[in-house]
Chain A
Amino acid sequence: MTTLTYLIPVALFLGGMGLVAFIWALRSGQYEDLDGAAERILIEDDVAPRR
């Protein structure tokens, strides 16, 4: 029973951290261009794009 007194707050705190992290990511615009994010991994930063 005593373990519950700290395990439950710990569980809720960790879950809450996840929620806060998600909302932060949402606010900072990381979900605004999902297609672009998927493609950008293919761009090589070191080589300047040439055309």
Chain B
Amino acid sequence: MTCCAPGAEAAADLLTTTLSPDELRLASRQLGDGTSQVELSVPAVHCAACIATIEGSLARLPEVTGARVNLSTRRVTVKWRGDKLPPIVETLSRIGYPPHLFQDGEVGKDRTFAELIRAVAIAGFASGNIMLLSVAVWSGADGATRDLFHLISALIALPTLAFSGAIFYRSAWSALRHGRMNMDVPIAVGITLAYAMSLYETLTHGPHAYFDGVVSLLFFLLIGRTLDHMMRDRARAAVIGLARLAPRGALVIDEAGRRDYRDLAEIAAGDRLLITAGERIPVDGRVEDGASDIDASLVTGESRPQAVAGGGMVRAGTLNLTGPLTVVATAPASDSFLAEMMRMMEAAEGGRTRYRRIADRVSALYAPVVHLTAFITFLGWLAINGDWHQAMTIAIAVLIITCPCALGLAVPIVQVVAGRRLFEHGVMVKDGSAMERLAEADTTVFDKTGTLTLGRPRLVNADDIATELMPIAAELAAHSRHPLSQAIAREATSNGAAPVFADLIEKPGFGIEGRTQGSTWRLGRASWASEGQAADESGTVLARDGRIVANFRFDDVLRQGAAKTIARLKQEGRLVEMLSGDAEPACRATAEKLAIENYAAGLLPAGKVERLEELAREGRKVLFVGDGLNDAPALGAAHVSIAPATAADVGRNAADFVFLRESLEAVPLAIEVSRRAGRLIRQNIALALVYNAIAVPIAILGYVTPLIAAIAMSGSSILVIANALRLLAGSRAPATSVEAEKRPSSLEPAAAS
């Protein structure tokens, strides 16, 4: 509890780590002349008022010299002067924008994107100017004028080819070097030959030069590529902006009792760490002192918090809920549970590395055919009239006309449009191949805790508890961070008058105790609350002077839309399974409520991967939906994977899709959009091939002029883009369900009852 006022926190805040001044200092960097700068992620920013509020409040802090919000990346950059750290985190939390840190590795400008934009700008400039000169040639300029125009075009096109074309040359080269074929190989060959031939034509005063075709081809293709990159970039920025769940370091106590905040990498086995309530445990360790409850739902999938005391083992990534702990690290961060999961994930990398994208598969067939056709045309014309020059000109015209302009745009443009549609519904797509793989998936496997359920308990028997006891329980519960206490506090209505308690004490691992009107009330573990009388009873109770007066029963809240999602997937004839690390009874209850017939409980991370591999061997393409650290290897092993935004960092990075809203209906939505995108992609490829079937004979017969090539190229590109935009039609329809998704479901989890 370093920065947030207790009581002001919602239950969901338990999922986020608190950000200590030490962590902030570690993340900041010196700019020289006594100024420091830190970049923080503030996911809550969404409008002009937010920007004004944040920048205004930070600027009012005396040490702060500058604050700038970036709305696209949801970040704020703060600069301050002097050694003293201004209360940045406190200020932001107070005005309602709790900040988070993000991984260092992702900071920094996106060089690829900047290069792409520059390449598009240059290609755009060049194609505009060359087209201007070409129109003059098409409309009848000849003789010296035409040669001059061609020469100027050649001069403009050369640097364009060198700079903008370099992107294709590099990609084609790296594909060829690895013995593969991609779309960029025919493009690179086509533009180079076309340029060389046009240059020869120009120097020999020939009538036809294709400089306009070459640069406008580059321009179109670069637009497609830039859009594709933008989509991925946006998704990446949004995912990075989410709360980071792994701690950055920990408070280490040395021999002399000094406390020192150290970076995670510097913590060695044997170090003593102080972990306050509400902090995540950074490394695997043994509890030396203190007692508390540990929430391991994100790590193992167990939904119930577990009590730990001296001697107990704790795992990296689990959340310390109720009391401070002194932990002796048993392994450095690199050997902790978290690191082990990452290693397993890398080893499990399955479907996605084997998967070849549709565009690559098409081009592997397409490129040889195109090159062969051009070559045969060349030989054919040579055999007919023996004119080297004419045969060459016509063969290159074939290459230009078949240059996969439409084919190059066919796939990315659909995926960009589909990605945008999913983005509007709060689903992030990592890259285009994810959509292709999702369209293929025929089996859906869910994790339980945190995915089908929210990993947040809910009181189920509130109505059975006497009305005069409920306010008492709620008053006691309000003083604890334990999830079960918070569930009681949430359920209580404010109509009963709550007594004022004196001497409120929370006994970590047991419960909370308070005194009022001469009697002692205890809320917590049955054996403790009854002072040992009901030692064999389990569960959570309220006791007055050692006598149990009320029993509380809990249930995990189902994620909103879970029942609908399962029903819809089954209706579409997909196999649905649930794999969980949680105990059997909890799994059975959830499976029954959601009508899932196939489930397995108590699985270790390796067990989940094994099951996925078994399904893969049966020839199934598996979609895995999971959130925990223990799901990360499975997320990596599945053919395609989806994670909620609340997932552990590793899992979120491993997943192909991340959904930001609470409802699970994002899953069928992603499937549906991916399927439609898959259909449109196939249509587009068919369109591009039909266009070639018409254009190629004309080219082979030698009737193609630069004007016809330019018209055919832009015509087919526009057709393909227009077809892709059909995906947006009808996307406005489910507006009502979008509204419903925005509402926090803690109010009314309708699907659960």
Known contacts: A39-B48, A43-B48. The answer to whether A33 contacts B56 by CB under 8 A is: no
Tell me if B70 is interfacial: C-beta within 8 Å of chain A. Answer: yes
- Closest beta carbon of chain B to A17's beta carbon, Å: 10
Do residues B121 and A23 form an inter-chain contact, with CB atoms below 8 A?
A: yes
- Closest beta carbon of chain A to B167's beta carbon, Å: 16
Do residues A49 and B56 form an inter-chain contact, with CB atoms below 8 A?
A: yes
A33's partner among B70, B145, B148 (CB-CB below 8 A) is B70
CB contacts under 8 Å to A, within B19-76, are 47-49, 51-53, 55-57, 69-73
Do residues A22 and B72 form an inter-chain contact, with CB atoms below 8 A?
A: no
Do residues A8 and B152 form an inter-chain contact, with CB atoms below 8 A?
A: yes
Expressed in whole angstroms, the Cα–Cα distance for A1 and B146 within the complex equals 11
Do residues B118 and A26 form an inter-chain contact, with CB atoms below 8 A?
A: yes
Tell me if B114 is interfacial: C-beta within 8 Å of chain A. Answer: yes
Which residues of chain B have C-beta atoms less than 8 A from A26's C-beta? Answer: 114, 117-118, 121
CB contacts under 8 Å to A, within B139-186, are 145, 148, 152, 156
Do residues B95 and A32 form an inter-chain contact, with CB atoms below 8 A?
A: no
Do residues A11 and B129 form an inter-chain contact, with CB atoms below 8 A?
A: yes
Expressed in whole angstroms, the Cα–Cα distance for A23 and B125 within the complex equals 12
- Closest beta carbon of chain A to B106's beta carbon, Å: 15
Do residues B70 and A32 form an inter-chain contact, with CB atoms below 8 A?
A: yes
Minimal Cβ-Cβ distance residue in B for A19: B125
Do residues B125 and A18 form an inter-chain contact, with CB atoms below 8 A?
A: yes
**What are the interface flags for B108-127 relative to A under an 8 Å C-beta threshold, 1 for contact and 0 otherwise?**
01000010011001100100
CB contacts under 8 Å to B, within A1-51, are 1, 4, 8, 11-12, 15-16, 18-19, 22-23, 26, 31-36, 39-43, 48-51
Known contacts: A19-B122, A23-B118, A40-B51. The answer to whether A11 contacts B132 by CB under 8 A is: yes
- Closest beta carbon of chain B to A36's beta carbon, Å: 3
Do residues A43 and B71 form an inter-chain contact, with CB atoms below 8 A?
A: no
- Closest beta carbon of chain A to B681's beta carbon, Å: 28
Which residues of chain B have C-beta atoms less than 8 A from A42's C-beta? Answer: 48-49
Do residues B129 and A15 form an inter-chain contact, with CB atoms below 8 A?
A: yes
- Closest beta carbon of chain B to A29's beta carbon, Å: 9
Minimal Cβ-Cβ distance residue in B for A22: B121
Minimal Cβ-Cβ distance residue in B for A29: B109
Minimal Cβ-Cβ distance residue in A for B141: A4
Expressed in whole angstroms, the Cα–Cα distance for A32 and B113 within the complex equals 11
A19's partner among B70, B71, B121 (CB-CB below 8 A) is B121
Expressed in whole angstroms, the Cα–Cα distance for A12 and B157 within the complex equals 13
Known contacts: A16-B125, A43-B48. The answer to whether A31 contacts B117 by CB under 8 A is: yes
Known contacts: A26-B117, A26-B118, A33-B72. The answer to whether A49 contacts B125 by CB under 8 A is: no
Do residues B52 and A43 form an inter-chain contact, with CB atoms below 8 A?
A: yes
Expressed in whole angstroms, the Cα–Cα distance for A23 and B95 within the complex equals 38
Which residues of chain A have C-beta atoms less than 8 A from B114's C-beta? Answer: 26
- Closest beta carbon of chain B to A21's beta carbon, Å: 10
Tell me if B324 is interfacial: C-beta within 8 Å of chain A. Answer: no
Do residues B71 and A36 form an inter-chain contact, with CB atoms below 8 A?
A: yes
- Closest beta carbon of chain B to A13's beta carbon, Å: 11
Expressed in whole angstroms, the Cα–Cα distance for A19 and B163 within the complex equals 14
* With A1-B145, A39-B47, A51-B56 already in contact, 17 other A-B pairs whose C-beta atoms are closer than 8 Å: A4-B148, A12-B152, A15-B128, A18-B125, A19-B121, A33-B70, A33-B72, A34-B72, A35-B71, A36-B69, A39-B48, A40-B48, A40-B51, A42-B49, A48-B56, A49-B52, A51-B57
